[in-house]
Amino acid sequence: MKRFETDAIVLSTCDHAESDRLVTFHSAEFGRLRGIAKGARRSKKRFANVFEPCSLVRLECREKNSYIWIEACKLVEPYLPMRTDIEKWAYAALFSEIVLEMVPEGEPHPAPFILHKETLDRLERDKDPEHVLLLALLRFQLLMGYMPELEECAICRRALKTARKWFWQPAQGKLVCTDHFSPDSGYIALDTGTLALINYMRKIPLEKTWRLRMRREMRAPLLTGLLDWFRYHTRKEIQSIKVLEQIFPSCGISSSIVGSGPARQRHYQIRC
């Protein structure tokens, strides 16, 4: 029997057996981590308010018979102000859902955990949460090893700085120039400056990432592309998008179809 302690962010929770809870966390030491909180539904005192999604907690666990049993869970940061701002809360839920599906279980990977924690911290206090989400998703794609070098056309090798307009397929990681763009292949149109900023993100530490400023008109296509990347690799729809659509039924996430391409070319306009 092995005992361990770790900081973790609550990703999801569900009922298990008669009175237990099965809780999924994101941790630095174990990546995605699933643990059973025995009797959590019966005794409200032992695990009071600690399994709310997106809360940062300190776990004490033991591993027995290939199960993780949660012995104690202490609330470190509940992000209460963020929970009262429905827009920030929706972005936090969206980022956490992507982490839940993309981070491997049981593998130490500290960088995505640090990014997740910083994203929640930034969402709580930043006045531009949509931009925080966008930078976090770009950084996450980079950390997970899916972001290609965006330096030249994948077909003719034309260099980035020799043209102003480019087309990127985040799902497949392909960048092409205007000569090799085809309208029905899930490309998003970006300018050279935005691509240069994304390339620059590779060279800077996380704390400097938040200083990057993406042009406002580039945000919708970038977000659309990043969500397509997620769908392509997980083969899943993003449930948090439905929550965002409910929050902003008339003016928020209006999925405006760009051109006559497939559904994946929708641009999600999240801001009112």
**Which range of residues in 15-23, 61-69, 121-129, 152-160 is near Zn ion by CB under 5 A?**
152-160
**Selection from 119, 143, 141, 148 nearest residue 210 by Cα:** 119
Tokens 């701002």, located at residue: 85
Residue type, 186: G
Q: Report which of 202, 203, 170 is spatially closest to residue 188, judged by C-alpha positions.
A: 170
Q: Toward Zn ion, which CB reaches closer, 178 or 256? A: 178
Q: What DSSP character marks residue 159?
A: B
Beta carbon of residue 240, minimum distance to Zn ion (angstroms, whole number): 35
In the complex with Zn ion, which residue's Cβ is closer, 157 or 211? 157
Least CB distance to Zn ion at residue 38 (A)? 59
Cα angle, residue 227 at apex, residues 224 and 230 outer, rounded to 5°: 155
Which one, 155 or 159, has the nearer CB to Zn ion? Answer: 155
Q: Which of 134, 153, 188, 220 binds Zn ion (CB under 5 A)?
A: 153
What are the helix and strand counts (H, E) for the chain? 8, 10
Closer CB to Zn ion, 107 or 179, in the complex:
179
DSSP assignment letter at 180: G
**CA torsion sign, 62 to 67 to 69 to 75?**
positive
State in angstroms the smallest separation of the CB of 232 from Zn ion.
22
Which residue, 17 or 156, is less far from Zn ion as judged by CB?
156
> To the nearest whole angstrom, how small is the minimum distance from the Cβ of residue 188 to Zn ion?
16
Q: How far is the CB of 172 from Zn ion (least distance, A)?
A: 15
Specify whether the CB–CB gap between 30 and 107 falls below 8 A.
Answer: yes
Those residues with Cβ within 8 angstroms of residue 66's Cβ, 6 or more apart along the chain or in another chain: none
Binding mask 167-186 for Zn ion (x = CB under 5 A): ----------x-xx------
Contact 111, 28 (CB under 8 A): no
Residue 156 binds Zn ion, judged by CB under 5 A: yes
Structure tokens that stand for 90 in this block:
């929706």
Q: What is the DSSP letter of 253?
A: S
Contacts of Zn ion in 36-55 (CB under 5 A): none
Q: To the nearest whole angstrom, how small is the minimum distance from the Cβ of residue 175 to Zn ion?
A: 9
98 lies in the site for Zn ion, by CB under 5 A: no
Contacting range for Zn ion; rule: CB under 5 A; set: 128-136, 151-159, 184-192, 253-261: 151-159
Q: Identify residues 110-149 at the interface with Zn ion (CB under 5 A).
A: none
At residue 115, what is the residue type?
Answer: L
Which position among 17, 80, 155, 204 is part of the footprint of Zn ion (CB under 5 A)?
155
Of the chain, the end-to-end C-alpha distance in Å amounts to 52
Closer by beta carbon to Zn ion, 143 or else 154: 154
Contacts with Zn ion: how many residues (CB under 5 A)? 7
Max CA separation in the chain (angstroms): 65
To Zn ion, the closest distance from the beta carbon of 183 in angstroms equals: 15
Q: Which residues bind Zn ion (CB under 5 A)?
A: 153, 155-156, 158, 177, 179-180
